[in-house]
Amino acid sequence: MNTSDSTIVFWYFKNGDVWNDNSNIEWVKYRDIEMQIIEEAYQQEKPEVLLDKYRIDLKEFIQFNRTNSSQQRPVRRQIGCKIQECLREERFNSSPLLTSTPSYGKALAWCPFLTEWLKSSAGRKAVLDFPSAIDACIDGILQEAVKHQSDSETEAQWMVEQLRSCKMKPRRETSKVCIHLYTRESFLYHVLNTALREADHSKLDTLGPLCFLIRDYSRTCTEFIGTVYRGVQLSLTTIFSYKQAVGSWRTWPSYTSTSKNREMAEFRGNTLFIIEITNAKLSATRTYDVAEISQFPNEEEVLLPAGVSFQVICVEQNLKQKYIIQIKL
The last residue of one of the domains, among 178, 193, 219, is 219
Shared domain check, 120 and 60? no
Q: What is the pLDDT of residue 272?
A: 93
Residue 4 has pLDDT above 80, yes or no: no
Q: What is the pLDDT of residue 106?
A: 46
Shared domain check, 161 and 62? no
Residue 274 has pLDDT above 80, yes or no: yes
Shared domain check, 320 and 288? yes
Shared domain check, 206 and 239? no
Q: Which residues of 293-321 are buried (b: 16+ CB within 10 A; e: fewer)?
A: bbbbbbbbbbbbbbbbbbbbeebeeeeee
Residue 314 has pLDDT above 90, yes or no: yes
Q: What is the pLDDT of residue 3?
A: 46
Shared domain check, 179 and 215? yes
Shared domain check, 11 and 57? yes
Shared domain check, 183 and 233? no
Q: Kindly state whether residue 311 falls inside one of the protein's structural domains.
A: yes
In the chain, % of residues over pLDDT 90: 33
Q: Kindly state whether residue 105 falls inside one of the protein's structural domains.
A: no
Q: What is the pLDDT of residue 21?
A: 61
Q: What is the pLDDT of residue 276?
A: 94
Q: Kindly state whether residue 106 falls inside one of the protein's structural domains.
A: no
Q: Which residues of 42-68 are buried (b: 16+ CB within 10 A; e: fewer)?
A: beeeeeebebeebebebeeebbbeeee
Kindly report the backbone phi and psi dihedral angles of residue 55, in degrees, each rounded to the nearest multiple of 5, phi listed first.
-115, 130
Shared domain check, 280 and 132? no
Shared domain check, 121 and 30? no
- Of 9-18, 163-172, 189-198, minimum mean pLDDT range: 9-18
Q: Kindly state whether residue 126 falls inside one of the protein's structural domains.
A: yes
Q: Kindly state whether residue 34 falls inside one of the protein's structural domains.
A: yes
Owning domain of residue 57? 7-81
Contact present, 141 and 156 (Cβ < 8 Å): yes
Question: What's the CATH code of the domain at 230?
Answer: 3.90.176.10
Stronger pLDDT, 208 or 3, i.e. the higher one: 208
pLDDT digits (tens, 9 = 90+) for 17-51: 666 666 567 788 888 888 889 999 999 999 999 98
pLDDT digits (tens, 9 = 90+) for 164-188: 998 888 888 999 999 999 988 888 9
Q: Kindly state whether residue 21 falls inside one of the protein's structural domains.
A: yes
Q: Kindly state whether residue 233 falls inside one of the protein's structural domains.
A: yes
Distant-in-sequence, close-in-space partners of 192: CB < 8 Å, separation ≥ 6:
182, 207, 210, 211, 254, 255
pLDDT band at 7 (very low <50, low <70, confident <90, very high): low
Residue 234 has pLDDT above 80, yes or no: yes
Residue 5 has pLDDT above 60, yes or no: no
Q: What is the pLDDT of residue 108?
A: 43
Q: What is the pLDDT of residue 299?
A: 84
Q: What is the pLDDT of residue 90?
A: 59
Question: What's the CATH code of the domain at 63?
Answer: 3.30.720.50
Shared domain check, 324 and 242? yes
Q: Kindly state whether residue 316 falls inside one of the protein's structural domains.
A: yes
Residue 163 has pLDDT above 50, yes or no: yes
Q: What is the pLDDT of residue 105?
A: 44
Q: What is the pLDDT of residue 240?
A: 92
Shared domain check, 228 and 261? yes
Q: What is the pLDDT of residue 104?
A: 41
Q: Mean pLDDT, the chain, as a whole number? A: 83
Domain count, the chain: 3
Cα first-last separation, the chain: 37
Three-state secondary structure of 284-309: CCCCEECCCCCCCHHHCEEEECCCEE
Shared domain check, 134 and 210? yes
Kindly report the backbone phi and psi dihedral angles of residue 152, in degrees, each rounded to the nearest multiple of 5, phi listed first.
-110, 5
pLDDT digits (tens, 9 = 90+) for 77-112: 888 655 555 556 555 555 565 666 554 444 444 688
Stronger pLDDT, 309 or 90, i.e. the higher one: 309
Q: Please give the average per-residue pLDDT across 111-120, as a whole number.
A: 88
